[in-house]
Amino acid sequence: MDDLIQQLNQLTSSIIDRLGEVSYEEFSAFVEERQKLVDSIGVEVELCQPTPAQKQAISRIMEHDSAILARMNALRLEAQDWLQKRNQAKAQRSAYESGYTPDSILMDRKK
């Protein structure tokens, strides 16, 4: 279990060191890898009780969760803002695009 905790610590430290410049693709890979490690640690915990040192190491790793979550939320809001601007630009553009065929003829009726 110590090896798994160490791997989780290294993974978390590597993401924390570059937190401001991490892309969403890297966060996605980080989350997948972290989940695998957490699941493996969960299996180990069911088999044997963790020592106080192991519990403390896990607690130290979990202290970084708020910073990681904050950065992930910032990326989510950035993507949401971009999508809203894109949809707004699409709506404005479609208002100016013609809704008729260029070869059509317009006929008016006299009253």
Q: What is the pLDDT of residue 35?
A: 92
Domain layout of the chain by residue ranges:
2-80
Summarised one tens digit per residue, pLDDT across range 85-97 is 998 888 777 766 6
Summarised one tens digit per residue, pLDDT across range 16-45 is 999 888 888 888 899 999 999 999 988 888
Summarised one tens digit per residue, pLDDT across range 54-82 is 889 989 999 999 999 999 899 899 999 99
CA 9 to chain centre: 20
Examine the pLDDT at 3 and tell me if it is beyond 80.
yes
In a 13 Å sphere around the CA of 73, the CA atoms on its Cβ side amount to 6
- Model confidence at 98, pLDDT cuts 50, 70, 90, reads low
- Give the chain's count of helices (H) and strands (E): 4, 0
C-alpha span between 40 and 45 (Å, rounded)? 9
